[in-house]
Amino acid sequence: MTLIRLLNQIIYNNRVPAPDWDWQRGRQMIDDADLVLTEVDADGVATFTLNRPERRNAWTAAMENRYFDVLAVANTDPAVRVGVLTGAGTSFCPGFDMGRLDEVAGRGVNISDRRPQYAPRLFRKPLIAAINGACAGIGLTQALMCDVRFAARGARFSTAFARRGLGAEYGMSWVLPRYVGVGTALDLLLSSRVFEADEARELGLVNRVTEPAEVLAQAREYARDLARNCSPAAMTVIRHQVLADLDASFEDACRRSYAVMEVLNSGADFREGVDSFVQKRSPAFGPLPDDLDPEKITGVLMPGARMALTELRGG
């Protein structure tokens, strides 16, 4: 079993019985396909839509499990080259469903069987967020797990945790400073203040701000450009390099890049990239090879992958 297949099994599959009532109930509802809709177009762009518009797409156990399940399918589906995550209606995800939080407040929540929130970081393909409305708490966490973020002008953001008596959950104390710096991360986490898409763009949390009616269309068009014109093998390796090198020295990153060059420079996609440029035509890259293993090429695991293997081995 390759490392990619092993990690896919660890991160996405249900490998531990759920002891907590809320997550057990979520597992029982996992066959409810309506919670996260999936649509794949002819270019290989898969749109994943969080679909609880009556609750503004507030997060639940069942939605979490469904989302990670559809990612697992797309992860190895050769028809999918790029993913786009959005929300139904006028909201992206305002955080965990407050009705469910009210039921467990003061009791604590057993998270031992939950698949980790960094699971999308281990997705092998680019993942683009189309943030069409409110984005807070665990919704913001999932937006930041995507590679590129488009936001609708006027969309409101918040970390939310401190105003609910919670800590910086799901590794946000690691993620936020890497996007916005320590001082701004502390501001956003300590105050849990609400800020809008234009400020999020200024801070570096989102890449593009569009008019509300255009956010999904523009995110999809960006994704289609990747799907049509960029090598799937190159994209999965580049994602790995950027995320795995966050804690690396410059010298280590350079050494890893040489290992990548040795593999990809002799690959079919490089030949196709050069030929299509010389012949002034669109490239015809093949699908992402099932056995392409960036970790094997660079000799290093991404942070989430290291944690997953540690958990599997029992510490």
Query: Residue 315: which pLDDT band, with cuts at 50, 70 and 90?
Result: very low
- Across 161-188, average pLDDT: 95
The residues that bridge with 161 in the sheet, in sequence order, are none
Rounded CA separation 189/168 (Å): 7
pLDDT above 70: residue 38 = yes
Structural class in CATH, domain 3-228: alpha beta
Q: What 3-state DSSP class applies to 14?
A: coil
The residues that bridge with 50 in the sheet, in sequence order, are 36, 87
Rounded CA separation 149/85 (Å): 9
- Tell me what pLDDT residue 70 has: 94
pLDDT above 90: residue 27 = no
The larger pLDDT score, comparing residue 102 to residue 84, is at: 84
- Across 287-306, average pLDDT: 86
Rounded CA separation 124/81 (Å): 9
Q: Which residues of 23-39 are buried (b: 16+ CB within 10 A; e: fewer)?
A: beebeeebeeeebbebe
- Tell me what pLDDT residue 30 has: 46
- Tell me what pLDDT residue 118 has: 85
Query: Residue 12: which pLDDT band, with cuts at 50, 70 and 90?
Result: low
Please state the CATH superfamily assignment of the domain spanning residues 231-312 in this structure: Lyase 2-enoyl-coa Hydratase, Chain  A, domain 2 (1.10.12.10)
Q: pLDDT tens-digit profile of 108-137?
A: 666 666 788 888 988 999 999 999 999 999
Cβ contact 305:119 at 8 Å: no
In degrees and rounded to multiples of 5, residue 127 shows phi and psi of -130, 120
Q: pLDDT tens-digit profile of 251-276?
A: 999 999 999 999 999 999 999 999 99
Q: Any residues with CB less than 8 A from the CB of 170 and at least 6 apart, and which?
A: 117, 118, 138, 141
- Tell me what pLDDT residue 116 has: 81
Rounded CA separation 169/157 (Å): 16
The full set of domain ranges for the chain reads 3-228, 231-312
Query: What pTM was computed for the model?
Result: 0.87
